[in-house]
């Protein structure tokens, strides 16, 4: 039974008592009692006191009863109004109480769902990276791709045919028709035919270069005879871009895909090794002599060049301008083998700093993309003077590279990295924990058969090198980052405590509202009981 029903019951009891009392006095006050009954059966009590004065001498006893009836009826109406008000407040408190409870429950569910999804994402991301790198490592830390250029118009005009045969069903084998009519077979990780375009080349290269974003050092270098397309493969042209530009384009795309999870900084440096001297290709040295640069051993074991210009890049458009600037500054010259022959080893370095936003882990890795100068025998290229000196330095550095490859392949204890600036610069890429990819560029022309066999034999030795699995490169500033992580955790702990305090405050407010709700209920019942007691008192007096 609610408060309103109790009020109605008390009102009916009051009328019943008054009606009984009036019947007992009907003989003496018939007219007055009828008016009394009329007053008690109406919602709005309006008693005509002047009419009652027409009663006989007993009217003095009727008047006090009428006054009590008026007062009690007014009290009943006031209690009804209070009951209605309290019922509305109680309904509002119920709605507010359940709404607050639902909000807290919803927040708790959302927090649990977020934590579960975060853990699931970390697990899937870790598995993806592990599987991705396992695929590359199963194919070897040093992978070798062979790319054969097409016959040029001069070779076709001279009636020279191709000495290289490709199996259409195999993309990792080729055969060379030797001068003694024998055939020599070579196997590599992938063989690109003359008709394969730049997109096909980069499609096979992409899995290696993306590893730099996961914290691995990566090195890609092109080796081969002058005029076989090394620079075309690495740099390309504005309308047919090569590995360098496509790599940076892919890195920016991957960085965008990982936004919100990882934070990256990409910077670019370009240098060349010319006549055993290191030259920064991003420095304008027209007004002053170039600064002497030397190779130093970094704290993490990699090779660094202090003073080398490093430009932060944010878009592929910036990258293209930097690559064009470096390419224009590179040393080139004319030989009988190539009108614009690269007379230096060009090294493009991309430094990637990564930070995992979720756990604060940081990495610092390098991606080297190297366009080596052409390998050829001095007797074949008909050079003299400065060009002869350049060729001697080129051959010396490439010979040193061959010695390093031979030492690594035979697992010799001493590897002569310091015999040239080139091998010293590539030390961590060739014999360290780096993921290395080599392009061996060859000519199909019968006139270049000897150089082609030399290049393919060299590439086969490179493919036999086993360096073991590559390792992620932690940032040397990791300690500082860890300190920042500690401060971040402390801040998060403060935020957690603040949230806990807010939760306790909400709980206290809910408790206060529950207490108010109970107090209102008690007040309603108290008023109902008070009204009931008043009606009972009136009935006894009547």
pLDDT, one tens digit per residue, over 49-95 is 444 444 444 445 556 676 777 777 788 788 878 878 887 777 777 67
Mean predicted lDDT score pLDDT of the chain: 79
CATH number assigned to the domain comprising residue 434: 3.40.850.10
113 pLDDT above the threshold of 60: yes
Q: For residues 196 and 191, give the distance between their C-alpha atoms in angstroms, rounded to a whole number.
A: 10
Kindly report the backbone phi and psi dihedral angles of residue 216, in degrees, each rounded to the nearest multiple of 5, phi listed first. Answer: -100, 140
DSSP annotation string for 15-42: HHHHHHHHHHTTTT-HHHHHHHHHHHTS
122 and 152 both lie in a single domain: no
Residue 420's CB: how many other CB atoms inside 10 A?
22
Cβ(192)–Cβ(183) below 8 Å:
no
- 31 belongs to an annotated ligand binding site: no
Q: Classify the C-alpha dihedral 166-172-178-182 as positive or negative.
A: negative
Domain, as residue range, for 399: 142-468
Residue 509: inside a domain: no
SS3 236: strand
Strand positions, DSSP E, 372-464: 435-442
pLDDT at residue 525 above 70? yes
Q: Is 47 exposed, middle or buried (0-12, 13-18, 19+ CB in 10 A)?
A: middle
Contact 397, 273 (CB under 8 A): yes
In a shared domain, residues 347 and 275 = yes
Within a domain: 337: yes
How many CB atoms lie under 10 A from the CB of residue 37?
15
Residues 538 and 107 sit within 8 Å (Cβ to Cβ) = no
In a domain, 477, yes or no: no
Residues of the chain with pLDDT > 90, as a percent, come to 28
The pLDDT tens digits for 206-235 are 988 888 998 888 999 999 998 999 999 999
Residue 490 belongs to some domain of the structure: no
Element (H, E) at 378: helix 378-381
- Three-state secondary structure readout of 334-369: CCCCCCCEECCEEEEEEEEEEEECCCCCEEEEEEEE
On whether 229 is known to bind a ligand per the annotation, the reply is yes
Residue 537 confidence class, pLDDT cut points 50, 70, 90: low
- For residue 231, say whether it is annotated as part of any ligand binding site: yes
- Both 419 and 389 in a single domain? yes
| 437, 468, 499 - which closes a domain | 468
Q: What span, in angstroms and rounded, lies between the C-alpha atoms of 407 and 418?
A: 13
Which of 279-283, 383-387, 433-437 shows the lowest per-residue confidence on average (mean pLDDT)? 383-387
Cβ(439)–Cβ(147) under 8 Å? yes
pLDDT for 46 equals: 44
Does residue 485 lie in a domain region?
no
**Boundary of a domain, candidates 427, 445, 468:** 468
Domain boundary among 468, 498, 516: 468
Residue 391: inside a domain: yes
Question: How many domains is the chain built from?
Answer: 2
Q: Are residues 1 and 16 in the same domain?
A: yes
213 lies in the same domain as 258: yes
For the record, the structure tokens of 98 come out as: 């359940």
pLDDT of 260 strictly over 50: yes
* Residues 62, 15 within the same domain: yes
* 496 assigned to some structural domain: no
**Statement to judge: residues 32 and 109 lie in one domain:** yes
Residues 62 and 158 in one domain: no
User: Angle at the Cα of 98 (from 95 to 99), degrees rounded to 5?
Assistant: 80
Residues 116 and 180 in one domain: no
Residues 335 and 225 in one domain: yes
Spatial separation of the C-alpha atoms in residues 527 and 257, rounded to whole Å: 68
Distance in angstroms (rounded) separating the CA atoms of residues 444 and 452: 8
pTM of this prediction exceeds 0.85: no
For residues 174 and 300, membership in a common domain is answered with: yes
93 Cβ neighbours under 8 A, 6+ residues apart: 513, 516, 517, 520
The count of other CB atoms within 10 Å of the CB of residue 49 is 13
Q: Are residues 14 and 129 in the same domain?
A: yes
Is residue 510 situated within a structural domain?
no
228 is in an annotated binding site: yes
Q: How far is CA 112 from CA 126, 282, 373, in A?
A: 21, 52, 59
**Which of the residue ranges 55-59, 309-313, 535-539 has the most confident prediction, judged by mean pLDDT?**
309-313
């Amino acid at each position: 039974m609610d408060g309103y029903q109790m009020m109605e019951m008390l009102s009916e009891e009051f009328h019943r008592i008054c009606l009984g009392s009036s019947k007992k006095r009907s003989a003496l006050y018939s007219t007055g009692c009828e008016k009394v009954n009329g007053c008690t059966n109406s919602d709005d009590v309006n008693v005509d006191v002047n009419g009652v004065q027409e009663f006989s001498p007993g009217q003095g006893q009727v008047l006090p009863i009428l006054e009590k009836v008026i007062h009690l009826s007014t009290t009943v109406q006031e209690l009804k109004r209070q009951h209605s008000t309290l019922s509305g407040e109680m309904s509002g408190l119920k709605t507010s109480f359940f709404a607050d409870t639902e909000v807290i429950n919803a927040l708790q569910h959302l927090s649990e769902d977020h934590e579960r999804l975060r853990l699931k994402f970390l697990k899937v991301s870790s598995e993806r990276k592990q599987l991705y790198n396992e695929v590359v490592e199963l194919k070897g830390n040093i992978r070798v791709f062979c790319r054969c250029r097409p016959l040029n118009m001069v070779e076709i005009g001279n009636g020279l045919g191709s000495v290289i045969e490709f199996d259409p069903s195999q993309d990792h084998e080729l055969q060379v028709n030797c001068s003694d009519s024998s055939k020599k077979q070579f196997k590599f990780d992938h063989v690109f035919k003359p008709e394969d375009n730049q997109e096909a080349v980069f499609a096979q290269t992409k899995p290696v270069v993306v590893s730099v974003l996961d914290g691995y050092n990566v090195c890609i270098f092109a080796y081969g005879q002058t005029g076989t397309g090394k620079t075309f493969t690495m740099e390309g042209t504005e309308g047919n871009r090569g590995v360098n530009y496509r790599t940076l384009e892919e890195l920016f795309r991957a960085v965008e895909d990982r936004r919100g999870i990882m934070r990256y900084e990409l910077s670019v440096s370009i240098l060349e090794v010319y006549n055993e001297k290191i030259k920064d290709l991003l420095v304008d040295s027209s007004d002053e002599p170039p600064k002497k640069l030397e190779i130093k051993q970094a704290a993490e074991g990699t090779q660094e060049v202090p003073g080398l210009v490093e430009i932060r890049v944010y878009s592929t458009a910036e990258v293209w301008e930097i690559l064009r600037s470096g390419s224009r500054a590179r040393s080139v010259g004319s030989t009988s083998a190539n009108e614009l022959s690269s007379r230096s080893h060009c090294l493009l370095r991309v430094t990637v700093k990564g930070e995992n936003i979720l756990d604060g882990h940081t990495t610092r890795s390098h991606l080297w993309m190297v366009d080596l100068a052409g390998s050829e025998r001095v007797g074949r290229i008909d050079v003299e003077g400065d060009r002869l000196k350049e060729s001697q330095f080129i051959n010396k550095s490439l010979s040193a590279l061959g010695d390093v490859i031979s030492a690594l392949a035979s697992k010799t204890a001493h590897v002569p990295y310091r015999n040239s600036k080139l091998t010293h610069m590539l030390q961590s890429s060739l014999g360290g924990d780096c993921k290395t990819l080599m392009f061996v560029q060859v000519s199909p022309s019968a006139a270049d058969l000897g150089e082609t066999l030399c290049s393919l034999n060299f590439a086969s030795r490179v493919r036999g090198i086993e360096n073991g699995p590559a390792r992620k490169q932690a940032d040397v500033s990791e300690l500082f980052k860890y300190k920042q992580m500690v401060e971040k955790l402390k801040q998060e702990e403060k935020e957690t405590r603040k949230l806990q305090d807010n939760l306790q405050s909400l709980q206290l407010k809910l408790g206060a509202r529950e207490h108010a709700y109970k107090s209102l209920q008690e007040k309603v019942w108290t008023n109902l009981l008070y009204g009931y007691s008043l009606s009972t008192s009136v009935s006894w007096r009547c």
